[in-house]
Amino acid sequence: MCGITGWIDWTMDISNQKDILKNMTDSIQHRGPDAEGFWFSKHAALGHRRLIVIDPEGGLQPMLYKDDHATIALTFNGEIYNYQELRIELEKKGHIFQTKSDTEVLLHAYVEWEEDCVQHLNGIFAFGIWDERRQRLMLGRDHLGVKPLFYAQRGTSILFGSELKVLLAHPSVKAEVDTDGLAELFCLGPVRTPGHAIFKGIHEVRGGHYVLFTSNKAETKQYWKLNSKTHTDDIHTTVETIRSILQDTVQRQLIADRPVVSMLSGGLDSSGLTGLAGNEFKKNKETLHTYSLTFTNEERDFKEDFLRRDRDEPWVKRVVEHVGTKHHSIELGAEKLVENLLIPMRARDLPGVGELETSLYLLFKEMKKDATVALSGESADEVFSGYPWFHQEEFLQAEMFPWGVNSSYITDILSEDLQVKISPFHYQKQRFQEAVREIPFLDGENDVQMKQRQMSYMFITRFLPFMLERKDRTSMMTGFEVRVPFCDYRLVEYLWNVPFEIKSIDNIEKGILRRAFQTVLPDDVCYRKKSAYPSTKDTTYLQGIREWMQHVLNDDTSPILSLINIERVRAIAEGTDEIITDDESKGLIEYLLQINSWLQEYQIQLV
């Protein structure tokens, strides 16, 4: 895992612009604390920050391929999980390799297949390839968009990088946000429109896409998408197919030259992966290390809610005993969560979801002390249709994103000027309808089946990118790599066409996955009801952010004041609002605090 940067200009000689490229690359040093690298030609400058995971000596970047005609240069972030098979295939075609790295395999894959190389890859990746022969830049991103990739065009230059801060470090890119960006920020929150980067004139390469740039045009192509067809496998075959893909995926994702550990919440997803990984470790007479998150006084403070049925820790212990892992429980207090609230915002260069990201960042910070790579159960709920919303009529029939159904109060906290400017309900509806038009519905499905497919599409293409962004930024901020086996595109393709009644077999969410994991988990863990990522219930935390919000409201220089209904937000911060509950107010206050600090720290210009 690494960080990448690049600057291409077809009309200007940028070969002596090392200071600017170094500033861009240094901005993401956290993504690659182990090494840096630069490469320059007359019209191209590539930078790289490296986190060593595979082939410490041979994976140096930017990596070059040279022949009699020209040079091809690559800067790459991610892992190619099928690189060993690809290497064998390429060697049969006459390619000669100098290293054992997946980076060199990707470079030779481009030499062999050019832009079609992405059709041969299984992995999580974001890369930039400058082809001197064609004077062409290719930016490519993995199928689901696990690894980030942003770009901007300024004059005759194309700038790209792993994070927004890379582009903002270039003198031609200003931190400007227009009406469209404000609408994304306040109408959709952190679950933004794919490809939209909030900042004016900055774009994100969507998952499953690549972009080709030449001196006179930019061409975006989708190389992977969900295709609908009738699912013909019986229940037994479906279970065995899921189990087989997951076993293969976990085996591939355990390959590393650095220690690999596993996240473990005691829920189905992380527990199943821990079971599969634990078995692989036992084959080598090794013990898998696992990590969980808990909060100070959690046993005293825990309250069941819509998304969290019970505490994780008892279930974590059950899995640890069954699989035989060496476990580490990381405990966080409310004060630590308040103190670090803004770090995830700085990691993603955009406001996020507060404590749910802060705790993840602090967890990864602790895990980094012992390891470099971890497995995570992220995305199982999206691809297996595991969220409660999938079987509730109110959400299935809503003509809006399901996670926004109960957030209509957002409009009430905006200033009248901003409401007029961004038209919240119209913007939300517009973006929802755009997403609906993309869906490959299947002929012959009834209304309920169509709505379930629609919701599945929304979660895979809209909600999942937000979750993956959260995981990438909070982990890479600590120089830590997190792998997500449930994002293997083969699994996602297969499950897309598995009917909801099969996914929820045995009358329980993700019933088909529970059956697949019965070979590695005890039944009580397999059939534990879903409980979401943990959140602190300590009232000290809520009180801390409420006081912080009141301080912002009382400071005339706070940039957010012109954007909000000050008195309404004051009532929420004081806990006297009659509509918004404590749980709702926590997420709202966190988000507003981050927006205010983001406007200040990034010196955002509203245009």
Confidence of residue 55 (pLDDT cuts 50, 70, 90): low
Q: Is the pLDDT of residue 352 over 80?
A: yes
217/239 same-domain check: no
> Which pLDDT score, from 0 to 100, does residue 308 have?
72
Judge whether 568 lies within some domain.
Answer: yes
CATH number of the structural domain spanning residue 361: 3.40.50.620
Residue 50: in which H helix or E strand, if any? strand 44-50
57 versus 106: the higher-pLDDT residue is 106
Boundary (domain end) residue, out of 192, 222, 252: 222
Q: Is the pLDDT of residue 533 over 90?
A: no
Q: Report the share of the chain in percent with pLDDT over 70.
A: 99
CATH number of the structural domain spanning residue 122: 3.60.20.10
For the chain, give the mean pLDDT: 94
180/266 same-domain check: no
276/389 same-domain check: yes
Q: Are 74 and 6 in contact (CB under 8 A)?
A: no
* Cα–Cα distance for residue pair 58/61, rounded to 1 Å: 9
Q: Domain of 53?
A: 2-222
Q: Of these residues, 2, 117, 187, 526, which one is catalytic?
A: 2
Confidence of residue 306 (pLDDT cuts 50, 70, 90): low
241-266 tens-digit pLDDT: 999 999 999 999 998 878 899 999 99
Q: Is the torsion defined by CA of 176, 178, 182, 188 positive or negative?
A: negative
47/164 same-domain check: yes
Mean pLDDT for 59-81 is: 92
Q: Which amino acids are annotated as binding site, given as ranges?
A: 102, 376-377
Judge whether 582 lies within some domain.
Answer: yes
490/557 same-domain check: no
> Which pLDDT score, from 0 to 100, does residue 389 have?
87
Judge whether 552 lies within some domain.
Answer: yes
16-43 tens-digit pLDDT: 999 999 999 999 999 988 889 999 999 9
Confidence of residue 51 (pLDDT cuts 50, 70, 90): confident
Torsion angle of the four alpha carbons 98, 99, 103, 104, in this order, in degrees rounded to the nearest 10: 20
552/495 same-domain check: no
Token pair recorded at residue 35 = 């090494």
Q: Are strands 605-606 and 481-483 parallel, antiparallel or unpaired?
A: unpaired
Mean pLDDT for 76-103 is: 95
Please tell me the total count of domains within the chain.
3
Confidence of residue 1 (pLDDT cuts 50, 70, 90): low
515/561 same-domain check: no
Q: Are strands 326-332 and 605-606 parallel, antiparallel or unpaired?
A: unpaired
206/240 same-domain check: no
Boundary (domain end) residue, out of 201, 222, 243: 222
* Cα–Cα distance for residue pair 325/328, rounded to 1 Å: 10
Judge whether 229 lies within some domain.
Answer: no
Judge whether 228 lies within some domain.
Answer: no
Boundary (domain end) residue, out of 477, 492, 526: 526
Confidence of residue 127 (pLDDT cuts 50, 70, 90): very high
452-484 tens-digit pLDDT: 999 999 999 999 999 999 999 999 999 999 999
Closest CA to 428 of 243, 188, 110: 188
Question: Is the pTM higher than 0.85?
Answer: yes
Q: Is the pLDDT of residue 294 over 80?
A: yes
How many Cβ atoms from other residues are within 10 Å of residue 486's Cβ? Answer: 26
Torsion angle of the four alpha carbons 130, 131, 132, 134, in this order, in degrees rounded to the nearest 10: -130
543-602 tens-digit pLDDT: 999 999 999 999 999 999 999 999 999 999 999 998 887 778 999 999 999 999 999 999
425-460 tens-digit pLDDT: 999 999 999 999 999 999 999 999 999 999 999 999
- 116 Cβ contact list (under 8 Å, min separation 6): none
Q: Is the pLDDT of residue 149 over 80?
A: yes
Q: Is the pLDDT of residue 54 over 80?
A: no
341 versus 411: the higher-pLDDT residue is 341
Q: Which amino acids are annotated as binding site for ATP, given as ranges?
A: 376-377
Closest CA to 441 of 455, 425, 427, 430: 455
341/481 same-domain check: yes
Q: Are 42 and 15 in contact (CB under 8 A)?
A: yes
Q: Are 9 and 156 in contact (CB under 8 A)?
A: yes
374/427 same-domain check: yes
497/560 same-domain check: no
> Which pLDDT score, from 0 to 100, does residue 307 have?
66
Q: Which amino acids are annotated as binding site for L-glutamine, given as ranges?
A: 102
DSSP class per residue in 237-300: HHHHHHHHHHHHHHHHHT--SS-EEEE--SSHHHHHHHHHHHHHHHHTT---EEEEEEETTHHH
Judge whether 227 lies within some domain.
Answer: no
* Cα–Cα distance for residue pair 277/254, rounded to 1 Å: 8
Q: Tell me which residue has tokens 């998952």.
A: 207
DSSP class per residue in 491-555: HHHHHHTS-HHHHTGGGSTTHHHHHHGGGTS-HHHHTPPP-PSP----HHHHHHHHHHHHHHHT-
Please report, in angstroms and rounded to a whole number, the separation of the first and last CA atoms in the chain. Answer: 36
513/568 same-domain check: no
Report which residue type is found at 39. W
Cα distances (angstroms) measured from residue 345 to each of 25, 361, 388, 591, 594: 19, 11, 28, 10, 7
Active site residue 187: no
Cα distances (angstroms) measured from residue 203 to each of 114, 136, 583: 23, 19, 33
Q: Report the share of the chain in percent with pLDDT over 90.
A: 85
* Cα–Cα distance for residue pair 425/420, rounded to 1 Å: 11
> Which pLDDT score, from 0 to 100, does residue 194 have?
95
Judge whether 481 lies within some domain.
Answer: yes
Judge whether 362 lies within some domain.
Answer: yes
Q: Is the pLDDT of residue 537 over 90?
A: no
